[in-house]
A = this chain, B = another copy of it.
Amino acid sequence: MSFIDYRAGDIGCEAYVARPQGAGSHPVVLVAPTVRGPTRLEHAKADALAAEGYLAFVVDHYGKDQRDLGDRAFGLMNELIADRARLRRQLLDALDVAAGLEGADASRVAVIGYCFGGLCALDLARTGTDRLKGAVSVHGVFSRPNLGAQPPIKAKLLVLHGWDDPLATPDDVLGLTRELTEAGADWQLHAYGHTVHGFTNPEAAMPGRVLYNADADRRSTAATSSFLKEVLA
């Protein structure tokens, strides 16, 4: 693994990159972090993806100088959520950089995002780009962008969702299913009962709100592996 500097929109970013064994070109998976920005959790996800044969690239939401943010992270996230055009530009730039790396197969790119990163994964698909083959939202947030008419979504989508997530209610789920259906997306939703936000994060420990769930973690990880095999075959 290594860190590389890149530019996304107006900011200078730093991505954690994990490379698979072996020469030749590899399919690429962008990892979009939670509200807290890139941490060792996302680095570990990238390492696991590299072990499965993917060139993994951890997206930097807020810039290289924005680390160990504490609760400041929420303000930075809200700025991006309030300016979805900027968020979209940053994500497309990250996709460009990742797909252009040495050893990257630019024809096989997917994204997986956690919490706020789930919104980012969906937003990258919502751009309508045909350069993205798949997007996975893991305990993601579903709020729609306010950027006018939605173009057709070409990436295949997998939404992994804790049914009792207070940040994505059943009404939000219904809204998302309508949106994705109208956009013509190939979408799947996997919902887990008795599961709230943050279920893949072993450090999440707020019952009823944000809580690790070993079953949902294992099942969603397996579902992601199968999905990436399918869309990046």
A interface residues, Cβ below 8 angstroms from B:
163-164, 170, 174, 177, 180-181, 184-194, 215, 219, 222-223, 226
User: Can you pick out 17 interface pairs between chain A and chain B where the beta carbons lie within 8 Å of each other?
Assistant: A164-B181, A170-B174, A177-B193, A180-B193, A184-B194, A186-B193, A186-B194, A188-B190, A188-B191, A188-B193, A188-B219, A189-B189, A189-B191, A190-B190, A222-B226, A223-B223, A226-B226
Known A-B contacts A222-B226, A226-B222; A185 and B193 likewise in contact (beta carbons under 8 Å): yes
Q: What is the total number of copies of this protein in its complex?
A: 2
Q: Which residue from B181, B215, B219 sits with its C-beta under 8 Å from A194?
A: B181
A157: nearest chain-B partner, CB-CB: B193
A177: nearest chain-B partner, CB-CB: B163
A218: nearest chain-B partner, CB-CB: B230
Interface centre among A188, A190, A194 (most CB of B within 10 A): A188
